[in-house]
Amino acid sequence: MPTPADYSVRRSDRARRARIQVTAEGVEVIVPRRLPLEQVEPFVESKRAWIDRTLLRMRAAEAERPRPVLEDGGEVPYLGERLSLRVRVEPDRRRDHVVRRGDGLVVAVAADGPEAVLAALERWYRGRARSEVKRRLDAATARVGQSYAGLQIRGQRTRWASCSSKGAMSFNWRLLLAPPEILDYVVEHEVAHLEIHDHSARFWALLAERCPRFREHEAWLRANGHTLRL
């Protein structure tokens, strides 16, 4: 039987049944608030083969993609490119700063270590995500005669983007760690939701017209989405 160290358990008021979520952070079991905890282990064990297969696929994907190295001389991904890092530690600096120069990033931080570099880079990616996403959103909505109500850049753990019923858009900054065609696809996906708010056959038919390779991009995200992290 699995031990508690194999997974974490999270109770949810919104959950109607138990489900398992496998991410880069580990295995999480989401259960309804009133589900007896003694039912969790048998449920996990019944899904053990699927969990093991999923973890193997994730490890294989991680092995194929070079991991970011958050130190001087390291590299990070950016929409299909690999940007080299030049890290400068300046103890008197009041605010971290990141600037792109050619095919590299200059990262000025007040403290030494990967945590400071990570924080500075995430702020930079969030800022760039707003620019990259907005440009694509504006072009995609203009092309189909639609409009959106607003744009937020977030860092959700399990969602890449969303479109509210009022047309408010939200995108995950980590999409900038993917190839550009993946970001293009996610934008088209959410723009299609401006017309069709569900995932019915009509939605997928509309998306296929606008993004003929959408199934390929969906498969890429399922296989590699967990690797999109700094």
Across residues 199-216, what is the average pLDDT?
Answer: 96
* Nearest Cα residue to 134 out of 153, 120, 121, 162: 153
| Superfamily covering domain 75-227 | Metalloproteases ("zincins"), catalytic domain (3.30.2010.10)
In the predicted model, is pLDDT for residue 2 greater than 60? no
Summarize pLDDT for 16-58 with one digit per residue, the tens.
888 888 877 788 898 998 888 888 888 998 988 888 888 887 7
Least confident range of 43-52, 117-126, 141-150, 178-187: 43-52
- Strand partners of residue 168: 150
Could you identify the residue written with the tokens 């200059």?
106
Could you identify the residue written with the tokens 């504006």?
138
Query: What are the domain boundaries of the chain?
Result: 4-64, 75-227
What average pLDDT does the chain have? 91
Summarize pLDDT for 106-125 with one digit per residue, the tens.
999 999 889 999 999 999 99
Q: What is the pLDDT of residue 85?
A: 97
Looking only at the bridges linking them, the beta strands covering 104-109 and 97-101 are antiparallel
Summarize pLDDT for 74-99 with one digit per residue, the tens.
999 999 999 999 999 999 998 999 99
Helix (H) or strand (E) holding 114: helix 114-144
Residues 6+ apart with CB under 8 A from 135: none
DSSP letter at 67?
P
In the predicted model, is pLDDT for residue 155 greater than 70? yes
Strands (DSSP E) found in the chain = 8-12, 19-23, 26-32, 75-78, 81-89, 97-101, 104-109, 150-154, 161-163, 168-172
Is the separation of the CB atoms in 153 and 126 below 8 Å?
yes
Q: What is the pLDDT of residue 226?
A: 87
* Global pTM exceeds 0.95: no
